[in-house]
Chains A and B, each alone.
Chain A
């Protein structure tokens, strides 16, 4: 039986009107502009771009405003909007070695060519609340030094020079795209990396942390972490050549992990790789650790049964929009479903009671 339930439109309209008011908050407090969010909550904007899988700071800032600061709701808005846009092309792979680095650090080499560049980091701050920020105030200019000339080489390229780090497999053709084709398992590394790049930061952080605590043992060093701007080059068919279509900020993390070697390969280091839109250090390190843990089979390591090694588990659960969609749908009306459960439980109870009555009668008879 299907019972059509109507009604509720007025309640829904009124709820949304109230949502609009609550979003605005106290009207004696001045309204946030999208530009203010873009400029002053830039790490929130970065997260929405990364997990929304669409690089556009203005749209991400708008989504954050609309979502009242609920990040997953904002990511949802961006994902939904993205599906309305035609895709013009795929870019050439970005050349991260040519990045204009705002930040570039290595935990493995102190004196690395190009140096340790801290950039605008929270590291080494004391995590004490700064009450000066509560009062609007002037801002001192950041000091300037002598800019470095030329590209900053990847730290791991130095290990590569000695043959100490595993060469990355080359791939030809168009990489698989989980936004176009349903994800099939087992996934290859490019598909995994796409999935992780848009995966939930919190989920990946926890998984990465679990590998550090011993669930899939692979001790990682941060070989390099770099954040900066990089041009995106794309072929324009009507021109017949490629142009740089934009500049994007990305965070790249390469971890160095020990690999004892196999029958065919000598002992060397291997990589975990994280690449994320925007300045997103925690996410990119997490991504690199999880990427490395998922490579156990390819590297002939033991399956320790850890969650981070389980590709099906990781890839099926790292998308927060899929997760929240399924999770939150259970709060929507399930009246008919529940009615049938209710009937079932009542029937089971009736049956049990009837059975119990029988037993009592029998016992009494004996």
Chain B
């Protein structure tokens, strides 16, 4: 494997990218159920209320060539500020305002002293749920892999 030079991110940024990506891709039900279980309702102000829009998804001609516009996907975003001044961004797939709000709050809290606890009780279980679902799909796909066998004809 070669090192990707573009990925020279500070460690904190890499971690933040990871949790934001995890929450963005999480199924609505999974993230909302887990978030509700946290029972954490910090005071905050909206810097940007949830709004749904799109991101234009791009592909490459021939898989490797020039980019082209494949079509859009829905995305919901919002920004909150905790009373201590920390800003959290929620950028999530789909149209759920609640999901974006949960992601923004978690993003803000992950930048503070509650990070470790939230990681353990929220992000890790969420990540494990998603990984388990993906792994199950991968195992089902593997079961449909063709094992060719060759008939031996005549004598060698």
| A interface with B by C-beta (< 8 Å) | 49-50, 53-56, 58-59, 82, 85-94, 96-97, 100-103, 110-111, 115-121, 142-148, 154, 156, 167-171, 175-179, 189-191, 193-194, 197-198, 229, 231-232, 234, 236, 238-239, 241-248, 250, 252, 254, 271, 273, 275, 277
Contacts and interface: CB of A to CB of B under 8 A. Distances in A.
B77 interface: yes
Contacts of A197: 59, 68, 70-71
A88 B138 CA distance: 32
Contact of B55 (A193, A245, A247): A245
A179 B77 CA distance: 23
Given A87-B54, A90-B55, A103-B141, A169 B73 contact: no
A143 B62 contact: no
A218 B149 CA distance: 32
A238 B63 contact: no
B71 A93 contact: no
Given A148-B145, A250-B59, 4 more contacts: A86-B51, A91-B55, A110-B148, A148-B141
Interface of B: 9, 13, 16-17, 20-21, 24-25, 51-75, 77, 79, 89, 91-95, 134-146, 148
Contacts of B65: 168-171, 189
Which of A85, A93, A103 has most chain B Cβ within 10 Å?
A93
Contact of A275 (B20, B70, B73, B74): B70
Contacts of B89: 236, 238-239
Contact of B24 (A119, A169, A198, A244): A244
A91 B142 contact: no
Contact of A147 (B57, B63, B141): B141
A91 B73 CA distance: 10
Nearest to B51: A86
A54 B59 contact: no
Contacts of A119: 141, 144
A57 B25 CA distance: 14
A129 B138 CA distance: 29
15 contacts: A49-B71, A54-B73, A56-B74, A97-B63, A110-B148, A118-B144, A144-B139, A144-B143, A145-B144, A176-B69, A179-B69, A232-B73, A236-B20, A238-B79, A271-B62
Given A54-B74, A273-B61, A148 B142 contact: yes
Specify which of A144, A198, A246, A247 lies most central, judged by the most chain B CB atoms within 10 Å of its CB: A246
Contact of B66 (A121, A175, A247, A250): A175
Contacts of B70: 94, 193-194, 197, 250, 275, 277
B143 to A, nearest CB: 4
Contact of A168 (B20, B54, B64, B146): B64
A99 to B, nearest CB: 10
A175 B58 contact: yes
A179 to B, nearest CB: 8
Nearest to A148: B142
A175 B79 CA distance: 29
Contact of A54 (B72, B79, B134): B72
A170 B62 CA distance: 10
A171 B68 CA distance: 9
Which among A238, A244, A245 has the greatest number of chain B C-beta atoms within 10 A? Answer: A245
Contacts of A254: 62-63
Contacts of B134: 100, 229
Residue with the highest number of chain B CB atoms closer than 10 Å, among A190, A242, A248: A190
Contacts of B72: 53-55, 82, 85, 87
Nearest to A102: B141
Query: Which 5 pairs from chain A and chain B are nearest by CB?
Result: A171-B66, A168-B65, A246-B93, A145-B142, A190-B68
A115 B146 contact: yes
A94 B59 contact: yes
Given A59-B95, A100-B138, A243-B17, A194 B55 contact: no
A136 B69 CA distance: 42
A177 B56 contact: yes
B139 A175 contact: no
Given A146-B139, A238-B79, A190 B55 contact: no
Nearest to B53: A86
B138 A85 contact: no
Contacts of A236: 20, 89, 91
Contacts of A54: 54, 71-74
Contacts of A190: 61, 66-69
B58 A146 contact: no
